[in-house]
C-alpha cells in the first residue's frame, strides 16, 4: 500500500497560499555544514521526506541534528566520524551525492555511494568526478561506490561541458577549503547555487562570480559555523502560479519570488498573464480562455526551468490552439504526458518535443506520479478536472512539496489522502 490522493475537481481556489523554503537550496546548504566544525542554525527548512533522509545521512557521518522549531534546525558538527556514505541512504535521494564535496575537502580518503532519485533521465555524476580529478583527487568506481584518495588536492580551473547544478555545488563546497584558487567555468547559475554561495561566504569563504558562468573560489584554512535562512522555493511558486491560472479563483501567493524563475515570468506574460506584487504577496491575473498558446524550450537557468515544465504543459493543454514544449535538460521527462492524456488532454511526443493541442476541459481519471514535478502537475490537473481523480504514488510529491494537500484544502480544494494498492 502507498499513499495517494483522491481529488474532486471543479472547486475554485481562494485565499493565501504560502511558499515554503526551497528544497533545492536547503539540501546543499545542509550538506555544507559538513565542511567545518561548529554549531549551525538553519531556518526556513521545509518539512520534506528528502530533508529527513538527508539528516539521517549527516547523522551517519557523525553530525547531530536537533529540531528547534517548525522549520528550524540546529546541526552540531564535531567532526566527520565515518568516511563512508552508505548506499542504503544515498540511493533514496540524488542530492546525497553532494556529501562528496565536504568529505573530500576534510578527509584523505572517502567512499560515497552512487546516487538515486527521480527517474527523469540518466543524470550521470561524470562531471562531479571530472571536477574532483582536476582538483587532484584519485578516483576509482567499484561495486556501486566511488572511492576517493583526496590527500593531495589543490585549486585548478574546471571547465564543465554542461552547466550542471550538482557538479557546480559539489565542487563549490569542496573548493572553499582546498588550497589555492579554483575556477568553475561554465558553472550553473541557478538561484539555489547563489544561496549556497551566500551561506559559504557568511561562513568566511572567499567566492566571486555567483550567478554568473564563472565562479572563483580562493581556498581558506578555516571557516566558522553560522545561522542562515533558506530562500523561498521558486519551483513551488511556479506551481502555484499555474494552479491559480487553471482553477481561476482568487489565489494569493505569499513569499513567491518570480525574479528567481528566469524567463518563466516573461514567457507567461507573453501569453497574456499579468502579475501584481504587493509586499510579499503575489497575485496572478489571467483567464485560461484569454491566454495564447506558446512554444517553450527548457534550458538551464535563466532559461525556462525544466522543473516547471510539467505544470506549464498542463496550462498549455487547456489553452486553445497548438503549443509545443521542447525538453533539452532531461531526456526522460515526458512520462506525465500519458497521464494527462488519460484525463483528456491531446498531447503527442515527437523526439524531445511535446506537441499540445488545447482542449476545453479535462476529466478525472486514475493516474500515477512518475516524478516530483509531474506529481504536482497531476494534483493541479485533478483540481481542475471534471469528476474524481485518483493519483497514485504521491511519495514523489511529498519529496518536494511541504503539506501540499493541507495548503490546498485551506483554499477550498477537495483533496484527500488515502492508501492505494501498488
List, by residue number, the catalytic residues: 118
Query: At 331, is the secondary structure helix, strand, or coil?
Result: coil
Judge contact between 197 and 215, C-beta under 8 A: yes
Assess contact for 56 and 98: CB atoms under 8 A. Answer: no
123 annotated to a ligand binding site: yes
Q: What is the signed CA dihedral for 263, 403, 42, 219, rounded to 10 degrees?
A: -40
Confirm or deny that 125 is annotated as ligand binding.
yes
Q: Where are the beta strands (DSSP E) in 53-164?
A: 64-69, 72-77, 84-85, 109-113, 138-142, 145-149, 157-159
Do 309 and 350 contact (CB within 8 A), yes or no? no
Known binding residue 126? Answer is yes
Show the cell assigned to 244.
491559480
Produce one character per residue of 251-273: b if its CB has 16 or more CB atoms within 10 Å, e if not. Answer: bbbebbbbebbbbbbebbeebeb
The response to whether 94 counts as a known ligand-binding position is yes
DSSP designation for 348: E
**Is position 104 annotated in a ligand binding site?**
no
> Minimal CA–CA distance to 35: which of 104, 89, 90?
104
Q: Is 23 annotated as a binding residue?
A: yes
CA distance 400 to 414: 21
Report residue 40 as a C-alpha cell.
Answer: 549551525
Cα torsion 337, 369, 383, 386: sign: positive
Helices 23-32 + 165-175 axis angle, to 10: 30
Q: Is 333 annotated as a binding residue?
A: no
Q: Using alpha carbons, select from 270, 272, 293 the residue that is nearest to residue 359.
A: 293
Known binding positions for UDP-N-acetyl-alpha-D-glucosamine: 94, 123-127, 307, 329
Known binding positions for phosphoenolpyruvate: 23-24
Known binding positions: 23-24, 94, 123-127, 307, 329
Amino acid at each position: 500500500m502507498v499513499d495517494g490522493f483522491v481529488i474532486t475537481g471543479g472547486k475554485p481556489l481562494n485565499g493565501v497560499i504560502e511558499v515554503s523554503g526551497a528544497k533545492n537550496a536547503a539540501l546543499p546548504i545542509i550538506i555544507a555544514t559538513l565542511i567545518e566544525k561548529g554549531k549551525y542554525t538553519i531556518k526556513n527548512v521545509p518539512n520534506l521526506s528528502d530533508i529527513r533522509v538527508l539528516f539521517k545521512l549527516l547523522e551517519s557521518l557523525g553530525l547531530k541534528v536537533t529540531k528547534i522549531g517548525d522549520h528550524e534546525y540546529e546541526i552540531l558538527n564535531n567532526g566527520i566520524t565515518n568516511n563512508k556514505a552508505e548506499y542504503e541512504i544515498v540511493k533514496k535521494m540524488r542530492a546525497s551525492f553532494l556529501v562528496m564535496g565536504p568529505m573530500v575537502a576534510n578527509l584523505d580518503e572517502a567512499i560515497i555511494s552512487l546516487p538515486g532519485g527521480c527517474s527523469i533521465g540518466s543524470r550521470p555524476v561524470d562531471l562531479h568526478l571530472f571536477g574532483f580529478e582536476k582538483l587532484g583527487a584519485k578516483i576509482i568506481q567499484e561495486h556501486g561506490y566511488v572511492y576517493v584518495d583526496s590527500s593531495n588536492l589543490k585549486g585548478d580551473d574546471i571547465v564543465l561541458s554542461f552547466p550542471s547544478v550538482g557538479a557546480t555545488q559539489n565542487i563549490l563546497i569542496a573548493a572553499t577549503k582546498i588550497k589555492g584558487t579554483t575556477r568553475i567555468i561554465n558553472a550553473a547559475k541557478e538561484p539555489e547555487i547563489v544561496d549556497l554561495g551566500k551561506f559559504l561566504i557568511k561562513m568566511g569563504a572567499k567566492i566571486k562570480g555567483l550567478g554568473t558562468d564563472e565562479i572563483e573560489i580562493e581556498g581558506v584554512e578555516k571557516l566558522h559555523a553560522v545561522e542562515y535562512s533558506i530562500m523561498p522555493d521558486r519551483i513551488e511558486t511556479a506551481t502555484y502560479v499555474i494552479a491559480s491560472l487553471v482553477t481561476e479563483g482568487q489565489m494569493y501567493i505569499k513569499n513567491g519570488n518570480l525574479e528567481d524563475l528566469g524567463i518563466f515570468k516573461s514567457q507567461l506574460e507573453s501569453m497574456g498573464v499579468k502579475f501584481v506584487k504587493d509586499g510579499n504577496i503575489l497575485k496572478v491575473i489571467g483567464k485560461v480562455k484569454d491566454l495564447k498558446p506558446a512554444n517553450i524550450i527548457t534550458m538551464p537557468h535563466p532559461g525556462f526551468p525544466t522543473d516547471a515544465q510539467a505544470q506549464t504543459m498542463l496550462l498549455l493543454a487547456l489553452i486553445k490552439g497548438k503549443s509545443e514544449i521542447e525538453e533539452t535538460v532531461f531526456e526522460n521527462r515526458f512520462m506525465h504526458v500519458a497521464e494527462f492524456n488519460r484525463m483528456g488532454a491531446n498531447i503527442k511526443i515527437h523526439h524531445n518535443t511535446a506537441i499540445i493541442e488545447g482542449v476545453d476541459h479535462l476529466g478525472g481519471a486514475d493516474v500515477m506520479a512518475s516524478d516530483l514535478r509531474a506529481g504536482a502537475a497531476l494534483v493541479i490537473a485533478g483540481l481542475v478536472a471534471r469528476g474524481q481523480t485518483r493519483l497514485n504514488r504521491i511519495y514523489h510529491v511529498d519529496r518536494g512539496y511541504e503539506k501540499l494537500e493541507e495548503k490546498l484544502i485551506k483554499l477550498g480544494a477537495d483533496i484527500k489522502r488515502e492508501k492505494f494498492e501498488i
